[in-house]
Structure 1
Amino acid sequence: MNTRLHFDNNLNQLKDMLIEMARKSESAIKESIKTLINQDIEKAEEIIENDTIIDELEQEINNRAIILIAKESPVARDLRKIIVALKISSEVERIADNAVNIAKSTLHIGKEKLIKEIVDIPKMMDLALEMLDDSLNAFLTEDVELARKCAAKDDQVDGMYGTLIKELMGYIQKYPAQTNQITQLAFVCRYIERLGDYSTNIAEHVIYLVTGNLYDLNA
């Protein structure tokens, strides 16, 4: 096998692992919100325990990337591909951490009667996960335009977050005995808002991969 083909095969394996990690993180976010809605304590504990699987995947990606750099001595665009894979794996790991944080908020709320049906948080999650899908597809296809479109959706996520926080803070006076629950729901909103930020970061890494230039899509 020639050197170029060998490098490309190793890089594709790295990408496959990264996408697997991203899908597991995405699934964890969905499950954590479902767990919150259903106040499923057992499932929340399971999500927290399973985070080690994603952590191990990130570590394996890091190890493979380091070996690839050491053995192949890539330069220019090839080196950027490995660096970007490492950066994206870090963003994806943070997404998984937020699934854990949401599960912990579920535990803090426990079986206490919810102040209102949880409807808007899942809508914000859907939009944030749509951003994640776009950013990952932009990475796989090296599509700068798709990366920019992904980041443009972050303003919508931020707007939904602002509306939800304002509503929740208004409940504190109305339901002072449920301040802990309201605070935990506000935390959950923040964790989902951060998902949009991490997706935007991935989009920025894609632009760096393709152009070699660092770009702030939030500017």
Structure 2
Amino acid sequence: MRETFDKELVQLHVRFAEMGMLVNEAIFRSVKAFVDHDKNLASMVIEHDQAINQCESQLEKMTLELIALYQPVTSDLRDVITVLKASSDIERIADHAVSLARTTIKMKGTHRIPEIEVEIAKMGEYAAKMVADALDAYVKRDLERAYQIAQQDLFLDQELAKIKQLCIAEMQANQKAVVSGSHYTLAATYLERIGDYATNVCEWIVFLKKGEIVELNPGNSDDENGNA
């Protein structure tokens, strides 16, 4: 029975890793679509989101079946619960990538502000790397790296504040920038939220390794991201 449980647990982690790769790809494509003003690529991100949703549903089913069939305890139970919770967080990351893609489509033809787009591109690259690093730390169960990655979310918080200020200044100076400034603010907010969810994944690594529920970035608690 133990051997069967271990095999199914391995399959669970393989499926989680596959979902993580799909989500990483969604972030990369959504950021690239925004920076390149690529409406077709943005549409592709939206279309492919269904596959990520299906992955989450499959993982939820697999985890619940493992709990029901084998009734794991202590570290085994933490292992299963962590996949269930972390997969929910990375699915929400994909949702924000989709929201960024939709913003790209809505911005088609609006007034562009290169200075702000440079900042959003920087923010997008940083958020994508943060998620990739968090997922890698999860696979390797690297506790120290999880703590380090969570601290990186502060940069995204600072970038969001900076972009909001730039948008307000542009909107006040140029009426043409009102619509695009609103879209830029939304785009930056989606990227900042992606960082919040990457932090959540880091929190689940701590839970997996230490059995403790922690909040690694208390500043995230005022949004709807459902921190650990």
Instruction: State the TM-score bracket (shorter-chain normalisation).
Output: over 0.9
Letter in 1 for 2:140: T
Query: What corresponds to 2:156 in structure 1?
Result: 157
Structure 2 Cα separation of the partners of residues 113 and 186 of structure 1 = 14
Q: Is the 8 A contact 2:124 2:191 kept in 1?
A: yes
* Cα distance, 1:212 vs structure 2: 0.9
The answer to whether the Cα contact below 8 Å between 2:31 and 2:125 also exists between their aligned partners in 1 is: no
Aligned positions of 1:178-217 closer than 5 A: 178-217=177-216
CA RMSD of superposed structures (Å): 1.4
Could you tell me which residue of structure 2 aligns to residue 98 of structure 1? 96
Is the CA contact 1:39–1:111 (under 8 Å) kept in the aligned structure 2? no
Q: Which residue of 1 aligns with 2:224?
A: none
Task: Find the aligned partners of 1:128 and 1:218 in 2 and give their Cα distance.
Answer: 15
Q: Match for residue 10 of structure 1?
A: 8
Structure 1 position 131, deviation (Å): 2.0
Which segment drifts farther, 152-161 or 185-194? 152-161
Equivalent position of 1:56 in the other structure: 54
Q: Distance between the aligned counterparts of 1:121 and 1:28, measured in 2?
A: 16
* Partner secondary structure for residue 75 of structure 2: helix
Q: Does 1:109 align with 2:114?
A: no
Distance in 2 between residues matched to 1:196 and 1:53, nearest whole Å: 22
**Aligned mates of 1:202, 1:115 — CA distance in 2:** 33
More displaced 10-residue stretch of structure 1: 23-32 or 131-140: 131-140
Q: How far is the alpha carbon of 1:51 from its aligned partner?
A: 0.9
AA at the equivalent of 1:133 = A
**In structure 1, what is the equivalent of residue 84 of structure 2?**
86
- 1:125-140 equivalences under 5 Å are 125-140=124-139
C-alpha change, 1:68 and 1:134, in structure 2 (3 Å) is same
User: Given the two structures, how large is their TM-score scaled by the length of structure 1?
Assistant: 0.93
Contact 1:61 1:89 in 2 (8 A): yes
Runs of 4+ that moved beyond 3 A: none
Query: Does 2:7 correspond to 1:34?
Result: no
Deviations 1:176-198 (A, max 9, x none): 12311110111010011111110
Deviates more, 1:44-53 or 1:99-108: 44-53
Identity of aligned residues (%): 33
Q: Which amino acid aligns with 1:92?
A: I
Please point out which of 34, 44, 58 is paired with 2:42. 44
Q: 2: CA distance between counterparts of 1:160 and 1:112?
A: 22
1:29–1:96 contact (8 Å) kept in structure 2: yes
Task: Return the TM-score normalized by structure 2.
Answer: 0.90
Stretches of structure 1 lacking an aligned partner (at least 5 in a row): none
Does structure 2 conserve the Cα–Cα contact (< 8 Å) formed by 1:48 and 1:103?
yes
| 1:176 match: secondary structure | coil
What SS does the aligned partner of 2:23 have? Answer: helix
Provide the residue aligned with 2:20 in structure 1: 22
Query: Structure 2 residue aligned with 1:72, among 63, 66, 70?
Result: 70
